[in-house]
Amino acid sequence: PFPWRLRMSFAMDMARALAYLHARNCMHRDLKGENLLITANERIKVCDFGFARIAARNEDEMRRISYCGTDGYMSPEILLGVDFSLPSDVFSLGVIFAEIASRHLVDSHTFKRTMPSFGLDADEVREMASEGCPHAFIQLALDCVEEDPRDRPEMRQVVSRLRDIEREVLLRE
């Protein structure tokens, strides 16, 4: 297993990349572990921008946005076929954070999504967190996977909270 220092560094790399995209009103739309590369110097690079696009600015543009992504990482609004935007990427990032916390990948049994809400089970995320996982990181993952997109943090907030968590982990180690 990677040490928590490195896991938080990975999380920060992902968050900064997504914050960069969101600052330019761009959605990745397929954020998942398979679209993350680890470099030789242990940095994360977000890749596969085949589904990326500028977020809709009005209702007409919203009607033209296609639904895409990978089931285990898709936000409830995408799975339910309703309007979606930048917070959908935040949901996907929250699923990845839950994977980092637990050292388990999302599948048909782990972090299973069920109707009618298609949200993650907060108790499962907490119970599966591996030893030494900062409680603040678990809470950040849960905040990112809130069912209502309006309740999810914006990427600036995610980066800020991760900075504090990373500092806590470095002091602890």
Answer whether the bond into residue 116 is a cis peptide, omega within 30°.
yes
Residue 30 known to be catalytic: yes
Q: What are the structure tokens assigned to 89, written together? A: 């990427």
- From the list 13, 30, 83, 121, the catalytic residue is 30
H or E segment to which residue 149 belongs: none
Q: Residue 145 contacts by C-beta under 8 Å, 6 or more apart in sequence?
A: 91, 94, 95, 98, 119, 120, 125, 152
Q: Residue 49 contacts by C-beta under 8 Å, 6 or more apart in sequence?
A: 28
Instruction: Compute the distance between CA of residue 155 and CA of residue 79 in angstroms, rounded to an integer.
Output: 22
Catalytic residue annotation: 30
